[in-house]
Chain A
């Protein structure tokens, strides 16, 4: 069935360093891969997404890469800041419609 694995589950970085979170998915038919950031007590918010026909996408300090052959995609955050501390979720969409399967989440802590 559909499955998304996310690693690591926790990540601690020094302010200014880079953070990388990796996800693998099970079904090669997946076509859309969003990343959400969820701060404590708040709703998940989309930070970046990528479609299956694109290999890389960048938005300021955030980038996502997709390797369809290996069925994995990664989130890269450069020059991390304390406000980047949150839980990050990757997700993948397979079927028509909007069913997202989420990874287990990565708790990122940026130490000042």
Chain B
């Protein structure tokens, strides 16, 4: 099976703009989780979607949002970008009831 894919791989935006990142899970996986990775804060959980419903949410401001489509593909959106939003955004998918999360390659977001 193909692995988790994310698009785009790199993105440069300016403060105040918004951005949408996409994640395609492994075929058959219904859970998609999003994480933010920065040198200072490490890997932090953003949210998880399962069967088009948000199942868990991390401690991020409301500028960060996401959704999941019926084919399990997920998007996350960040509005009113701030410099501190520069990070690697990783998504991970897992099977229903499964433990293992498989990560995608990430989207490197730079906010200028």
Are the C-beta atoms of A97 and B100 separated by less than 8 Å?
Answer: no
Tell me whether A98 and B31 are in contact (CB under 8 A). Answer: yes
When the two chains form their complex, are residues A43 and B106 in contact, meaning their CB atoms are under 8 A apart?
yes
**Whose C-beta in chain B lies nearest to the C-beta of A33?**
B99
Q: Are A97 and B103 interface neighbours, CB within 8 A? A: no
- Chain B residues near A95 (CB-CB < 8 A): 56
Mostly, the B contact residues are strand
Pairwise interchain contact B101-A102, C-beta atoms closer than 8 A:
no
Number of interface residues of B (CB under 8 A): 23
Interface of A is mostly: strand
Known A-B contacts A34-B101, A44-B90, A98-B48; the reply to A105 vs B42 at CB < 8 A is yes
0/1 string, A68-112, CB within 8 A of B gives 1: 000000000000000000000101010111111111110000000
**Per-residue contact bits, chain B 54-76, to A (CB 8 Å; 1 contact, 0 not):** 01101000000000000000000
Q: How far is the CB of B38 from chain A (nearest CB, A)?
A: 11
User: Is B22 in the interface zone, CB < 8 Å from A?
Assistant: no
B41 to chain A, nearest CB (A): 9
Q: Which residues of A contact B58 (CB under 8 A)?
A: 99
Q: List, in ascending order, chain B residues with CB within 8 A of A32's CB.
A: 99
Alpha-carbon gap, A104 to B44, bound state (A): 10
Q: Is the CB of B55 within 8 A of A45?
A: no
A34 touches B56 (CB 8 A): no
Q: Residue of A at shortest CB range from B45?
A: A99
Chain B residues at the A interface, C-beta cutoff of 8 Å: 31, 33, 35, 42-45, 48, 50, 55-56, 58, 90, 92, 94, 99-106
